[in-house]
Each structure stands twice: as C-alpha cells, then as structure tokens.
Amino acid sequence: MNPPDPLNSPALQSKALLWLLMLVTVLFAVVLWPLSGAVSWAVFMAIVFSPLQERSALACRGRRGWAAFGTLMVIVVSVLLPMALLAASITHEAGAYYERFKSGDIQLSQYFQRGIDALPAWAQALLDRFGLADLAALQRKLVDALGQSGQALTSRAFLIGQGTLDFLVSFFVMLYLLYFLLRDGRALAAQAARALPLERRHTQRLLAQFATVVRATVKGNVVVALVQGTLGGLAFWALGIKGALLWGALMALLSLLPAVGAALVWGPAAVYLLSTGSLWQAAALAAWGVLVIGLVDNVLRPILVGKETRMPDYLVLIATLGGLAAFGLNGFVIGPVIAAIFLATWEIFVEARQEAPRGKS
C-alpha cells in the first residue's frame, strides 16, 4: 500500500486554490483598472435602470437581448445625449467667459478691491502678507498663467487628442458593457450570490444593500444637482449675471458635496454684487441661496439618499468627500456604497456572534 501523497491532501489543495484565486483576482483588477471608470458607471447605470429593463423584458415577451437594446437606446437619448449637448454649451460659454476675462472686459479685481479696502488694517496686512491684497496684480498674474496654460495645451495637442481618444474608448466600453449587464444582470447577480462564501440570507442582504445604495446615491445626487443647478442658474439669469448657464452647471457639479457645494458659487457671487453696490441683488441672491437652494439640499438629499440607504447625514457627507478624494468623480457613488456595505457587514458580524451561543446550546 502506497503512502498518501501530502501534495494531494484536500487541505493543501484548498489553500492552493484560495491563493490562486486571490492572485488571479488581483491580476484581473490590474487589467481592469485603466477602464475602472467605464466599468463602474456601466454597473451603476445597469442597477439604476434595472426596473426599466425588467419592464422592457415583459414587453418583449422575455427576449432580454431586445429589451436591453431598447433600454440602452432610452438611456442614450434621454440621459447621455442631453448631457453631451449641455457639456458642449457649457464649454462654449466657458471659452467666451475666459476671452472676456483675458481681454479685461471683466475686472473682478476692481470690485473685490473695494471690499478689501473696507477691511480693518490687520486683515489687510494679513492679505498683503500672502500677496492677496493687490487684486489687480493678482488678476494680471492669473491671465498670464492662463495664457501660458493655453500655450502649453496647444503644444501638447497630441496628448489632448490621446486623452479624447481614451475618453471615447471608455465611453463605448461603458455602453458595450452596459448592454450585457442589462441583458444578463439577473443571472450575474445570482452567480455572484452563489460564489460568495456566506449564508444565503447574508449574501442577499449585502447585494440588496449594494443595489439600494447605488440606486439611491445616483438618482438622489443627480436630482439634487439638477435642481440646485437650475435654481442657481435661474437666479443668476434673473439678476443679470453673465454666464448663468456656466455658473448653474458649476453649482450642479459642486452640489455633489453635501451642505456646502452650491454655496461655493453663489456665496462669492453675492459678495461680488455687494462690492459693486448692488445691495438688494446681493441680499436677494443670499436669501435665495440660503432659503431655496440650501433647502433643496437639506430636504431632498436626506429623503432621496439618506432615507433609502439608512445612513445618517454626517456619514453620507464623510463618505462622499472621502470617495471624491480617493476615486475622483466616481467617488460620489463609490464612497457611500463602501460605507453602506461596511455598516451592513458589521451588522451581519454582530448578528452572527449573537446567534453563535444559541447554535452551540
């Protein structure tokens, strides 16, 4: 009788398989990292539009491929195409604003200089220490820096073109992957649930929490951004501030930062109006920002984001800021998702420890 081969022991083979699984998983993550943004947004949009996909599948009598194609067309026409047109308009307006600033048509320094001159001596000395007291010189330096940046960008046109090509590749990868996630999303979720080494109820709970947080974060933040950007842009237009579309878009983008985002735009604008002597316009903009734009953030965001994710407002804020710092723009979704999965995992761990003594008895 031959002695048992230690290399064929089940324990050793299990460990080897586990190490192999970890290695190939890390390598696969390295391969996907250059397209992580495209993959992430394909997953996010597949989760957000999964209810529409299921209704389309019913309308197509179970032909999920045709249903996924129809859902994808709806996403392109109703979401992606309007965003592209808006981005083109904002880019054009930003370019026109830059030309006016560069030519000296916009003299922000003169208006803000009045506010600085009204400050006490110690405050002026502090600003002068950091080179911020002479705003005219600061504006000239800024224009020169922008001009040099423009020349540098012109000389690096090849790199800009390469960046544009990378964006287009990522965009079409996202659309391509989104189609298959819409078509096969239910099967992939079931396969992931079987692969996780957890009890079925715990796996379903984690996957459900993941989908809920993604759906609530994307829809909630997008709705809040659109509402705040629209309200801010309308206020700027009504007050005669040029570039209302640009500033509204900037407020929408910054509104991804809870509590303080949009105020980073309308606050300095109110100070600008005050420094030019437009007292009632400054007061009206400040009141609109605090009472209307701020109310949207304080009311809608907890309802659309915090309520569904069952996370407190302070945790949503910290997770969003941390996610943006770590993952860029994708972090406004990834941050809250990680925080929610963190909470859910700890809840499962605590419940499992509480159930363990009862299982032993």
3-state secondary structure of 220: helix
Q: pLDDT value at position 295?
A: 79
Q: Please, how many CA atoms are within 13 Å of residue 248, restricted to the half-sphere of its CB?
A: 23
3-state secondary structure of 33: helix
Q: pLDDT value at position 271?
A: 77
Taking the CA atoms of residue 17, residue 18, residue 24 and residue 29 in that order, the dihedral angle to the nearest 10 degrees is 160
Sign of CA dihedral 162, 167, 172, 174: positive
The answer to whether the CB of 209 falls within 8 A of the CB of 189 is: no
Q: DSSP character for 126?
A: H
Q: pLDDT value at position 155?
A: 47
Nearest residue to 115 (alpha-carbon basis) of 274, 283, 284: 274
Q: pLDDT value at position 268?
A: 79
What's the pTM? 0.69
3-state secondary structure of 1: coil
Structure tokens at 203: 């796996």
pLDDT by position in tens, the chain (length 361): 555 555 566 667 777 788 888 888 889 888 888 888 888 888 888 888 888 888 988 888 888 889 999 999 998 888 888 877 777 777 777 776 666 666 656 555 555 555 555 555 666 566 566 555 555 555 555 555 545 544 444 444 444 445 567 778 888 888 999 999 988 888 888 887 787 777 788 788 888 888 888 888 887 778 888 888 888 888 888 888 777 788 888 888 887 776 667 788 888 788 777 777 778 888 888 888 888 888 777 777 766 666 666 677 778 778 878 888 888 778 878 888 888 888 888 888 888 777 766 555 4
Chain centroid offset of residue 29 CA: 21
The alpha-helical segments, DSSP class H, found in the chain are 10-32, 36-48, 50-59, 64-75, 81-103, 108-117, 121-129, 135-155, 157-195, 200-238, 244-254, 263-275, 279-288, 294-301, 307-309, 313-327, 331-360
